[in-house]
């Protein structure tokens, strides 16, 4: 039996929302119309040319804060390897739904939207639900920033993030600090390098120092923070001394580490010859495993797994980095049907069996919240 949310998932996969540039607006408008037809009150907001977010609400009659779900509709580029399946076709082979964004994370958005529709009577009699659907997540939570800046977020009681976890409940994720490190030299003719200052050599010296830099102490659950130099650009032509080089550093942190402190320590290490610019600054997320609602989520998920569930975190960031502080830090669980290993992969897929499980799981969590 196919998941009830399959058709919606395939429709969402049919939109090219690769970021950059994003172009989520058409997909957002389609989804907004679908939600409106199901009885949601929907607010669409633009945050750039072809960019959009939406907030959808099903209010309840019972006193108390609503349950919120969040997901993003932008996806990463396809990569250089050829795809066996149409990345926008929503093709099915066996137990797999293929497409860019199948696991990360359009299938999850379809699943929790469908679960809300199925539980509409309980929601309206209960405390209501809110869907926070963003664009621009993949490049640093740009859509979430725009929603917060616009003051478009309603008050909520708990947040479920539908990122890919194979339906395993996750209580947190690492923070992300992306820095651009730039060296400036002096240009000269390549045949007379003694007249110039080579910015690439300055960058090489800095990279040698960075390679042995530790962002800080390990976290009990998130373990060691990590650092990776992911990109370097320097020089304009082979026969000139380069006067500028820039390289980008990706630091993944934990709640026990302050990003301002990490940045200052790195600046002190590299010295005045290297200028640092912050590109992305997203704090880590960690909910209390002992929270009553978090425990109830674990109890529902336990039926899907043979072994007792443990408190886990994921290394990737989510919109929760920005949404939770803006919402007053409600309890949060990351929970979605996507396969974590399939995110950003060629021939990305989501298992149909996981999608069906997520529909039931989300419906159970909604029903519990309304009671």
pLDDT of residue 322 exceeding 90 = yes
* Domain 175-282 in the same topology as domain 6-173+284-370: no
Q: Burial code of 181-194, b = ≥16 C-beta within 10 A, e = fewer? A: bbbebebbeeeeee
pLDDT band at 324 (very low <50, low <70, confident <90, very high): very high
Active-site pick, 74, 243, 339, 348: 74
The predicted model scores a pTM of: 0.94
Domain boundaries, the chain: 6-173+284-370, 175-282
In the 3-class helix/strand/coil scheme, how is 184-230 assigned residue by residue?
A: ECECCECCCHHHCECHHHHHHHHHHHHCCCCCCCCECCCECCEEEEE
Rounded average pLDDT over 335-356: 97
User: Nearest to residue 311, comparing CAs of 175, 219, 214?
Assistant: 219
| Model pLDDT for residues 155-207, shown as the tens digit of each residue | 999 999 999 999 999 999 999 999 999 999 999 999 999 999 999 999 999 99
Q: 137 catalytic, yes or no?
A: yes
At residue 1, does pLDDT exceed 80?
no
| pLDDT at residue 152 greater than cutoff 90 | no
Pick the CATH number of 175-282 from 3.40.50.620, 3.30.1360.40, 3.40.50.300, 3.30.70.360: 3.30.70.360
pLDDT digits (tens, 9 = 90+) for 253-265: 999 999 999 999 9
Taking only the tens place, the pLDDT of each residue in 27-72 is 999 999 999 999 999 999 999 999 999 999 999 999 999 999 999 9
Catalytic residue among 137, 138, 319, 348: 137
pLDDT (mean) for 334-351: 97
7 in active site: no
CATH of 6-173+284-370, one of 1.10.3720.10, 3.40.630.10, 3.40.640.10, 3.40.50.300: 3.40.630.10
User: Is residue 231 scored above 90 in pLDDT?
Assistant: yes
């Amino acid at each position: 039996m196919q998941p009830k949310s399959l058709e919606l998932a395939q429709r969402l996969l049919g939109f090219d929302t690769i970021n950059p540039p994003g172009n989520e607006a058409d997909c957002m408008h389609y989804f907004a119309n679908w939600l409106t037809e199901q009885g949601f009150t929907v607010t669409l907001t633009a945050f750039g040319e072809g960019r959009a977010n939406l907030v959808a609400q099903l209010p309840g009659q019972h006193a108390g804060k609503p349950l919120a779900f969040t997901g993003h509709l932008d996806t990463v580029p396809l990569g250089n390897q050829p795809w066996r399946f149409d990345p926008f076709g929503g093709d099915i082979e066996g137990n797999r739904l293929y497409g860019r964004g199948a696991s990360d994370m359009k299938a999850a958005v379809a699943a929790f939207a469908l679960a809300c529709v199925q539980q509409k009577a309980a929601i309206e009699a209960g405390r209501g639900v809110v869907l926070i659907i963003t664009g621009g997540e993949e490049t640093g939570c740009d859509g979430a920033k725009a929603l917060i800046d616009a003051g478009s977020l309603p008050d909520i009681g708990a947040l479920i993030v539908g990122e890919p976890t194979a339906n395993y409940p996750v209580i947190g994720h690492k923070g992300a600090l992306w820095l651009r490190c730039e060296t400036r030299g002096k240009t000269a003719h390549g045949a007379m390098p003694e007249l110039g200052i080579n910015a690439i050599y300055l960058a090489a010296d800095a990279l040698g120092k960075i390679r042995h830099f530790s962002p800080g102490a390990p976290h009990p659950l998130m373990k060691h923070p990590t650092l990776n130099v992911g990109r370097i650009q320097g020089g304009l032509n082979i026969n000139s001394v380069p006067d500028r080089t820039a390289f980008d550093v990706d630091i993944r942190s934990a709640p026990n580490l302050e990003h301002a402190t990490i940045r200052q320590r790195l600046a002190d290490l590299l010295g005045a010859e290297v200028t640092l610019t912050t590109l992305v600054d997203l704090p880590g997320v960690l909910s209390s495993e002992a929270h009553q609602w978090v425990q109830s989520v674990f109890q529902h998920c336990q039926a899907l797994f043979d072994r007792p569930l443990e408190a886990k975190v994921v290394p990737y960031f989510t919109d929760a980095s920005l949404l939770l502080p803006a919402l007053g830090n409600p309890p949060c669980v990351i929970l979605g049907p996507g396969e974590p290993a399939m995110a950003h992969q060629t021939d990305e897929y989501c298992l149909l069996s996981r999608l069906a499980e997520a529909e039931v799981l989300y419906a159970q969590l909604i029903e519990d919240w309304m009671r």
